[in-house]
Amino acid sequence: METVDLSRPDDGIAVVTFDRPDRLNAINLQMYDELETVLAELATDRSVRAVIITGAGRGFCSGQDLKDLGADQEGSGLGKVQFGMAWQARAAGLVQRIHRLPQPVIAAVNGAAAGAGLSIALAADTRIASTAAKFNAAFVRIGLSGGDMGASYFLPRIVGLTAATEMLFTGRMVHADEAQRIGLVLRVVEPDCVLDEAIAIARAIRTNSPFGIAMTKQVLWHNIDACSLDAAMALENRTQILASMTDDADEAVAAFMDKRDAVFRNH
């Protein structure tokens, strides 16, 4: 692939790297194609226990490439509005694909995450930032809405409504230290450490059972919108009993008692 790199730096850990550093990893049509292929592969790969998303060079992702998108309205046979809606739906679908991966997703934000890049970072389950990272809702600065590709859904849930409102209304850059202060990122590290920090988190995730982690992700994202405590607990109760009946749960208890590392088979 030319615009996306998929690597496996350690057992069970996959790293997806946006690879258009000369454009600060802005997304064009080819990158959409390649990302969709990579994400479809990861979604069904049971050997992958955690996914890290990062960018090559100085940027994480500077959004959609407005200078070189590669999409052709005339060739599509659609009108301007119809073509725009189809393209917007495809762009939003990328965020949904990332968010719906069964594995935990860690965004290792090494530089600017603007527009679509912000939304991609928000779609991850957690975020590590380098000191060079910065975030903004870019489209509000060019006459469009700051609510784009899931930003209006994820951002208030991550940083709270007050901080999200200001970010989406102004489109200003939020730098790494502020991002950590408002809870947008888990922690901030030096630029040459951001990927290593994300891999360390992925390794810690990998020590737990595949089913337990998959169910934890499912419960977290369902219950953030739960209609009541009773509904949230009903999902938790179901999940705990299902997990307790797996062979991996028995292995986890035996490993704890024997003071050894568990060997999970996803059974």
Q: What is the pLDDT of residues 26-41, one digit of tens each?
A: 999 999 999 999 999 9
Looking at residue 89, what is its pLDDT?
92
Whether 266 maps to a domain, the answer reads: no
Q: What is the pLDDT of residues 156-186, one digit of tens each?
A: 999 999 999 999 999 999 999 999 999 999 9
Q: What is the pLDDT of residues 110-121, one digit of tens each?
A: 999 999 999 999
Number of structural domains found in the chain: 2
Predicted confidence (pLDDT) at residue 69 exceeds the cutoff of 90? no
Q: What is the pLDDT of residues 55-67, one digit of tens each?
A: 999 999 999 888 8
Judged on CB neighbours under 10 Å (0-12, 13-18, 19+), 126 is: middle
* Extended beta strands in the chain, E state: 4-10, 13-18, 50-55, 105-109, 112-114, 126-130, 134-136, 174-175, 187-189
Q: By percentage, how much of the chain surpasses pLDDT 70? A: 100
Looking at residue 70, what is its pLDDT?
75
Q: What is the pLDDT of residues 227-259, one digit of tens each?
A: 999 999 999 999 999 999 999 999 999 999 999
Residues 185 and 228 occupy one common structural domain? no
- Whole-number mean pLDDT of the chain? 95
CATH of the domain at 63: 3.90.226.10
Residue-range definition of the domain harbouring residue 231: 208-258
Question: Which DSSP state fits 172?
Answer: -
Residues 56 and 166 occupy one common structural domain? yes
Report, as an integer, the average pLDDT of 189-218: 97
Task: Point out the domain boundary residue: 169, 190, 205.
Answer: 205
Residues 87 and 197 occupy one common structural domain? yes
> How many Å apart are CA 133 and CA 211, to the nearest integer?
33
160 three-class SS: coil
Looking at residue 93, what is its pLDDT?
96
Residues 30 and 159 occupy one common structural domain? yes
C-alpha separations of 227 from 155, 157, 222, 232, 234 in Å: 20, 15, 10, 8, 12
Looking at residue 195, what is its pLDDT?
98
Looking at residue 127, what is its pLDDT?
98
Report, as an integer, the average pLDDT of 138-154: 92
Residues 253 and 195 occupy one common structural domain? no
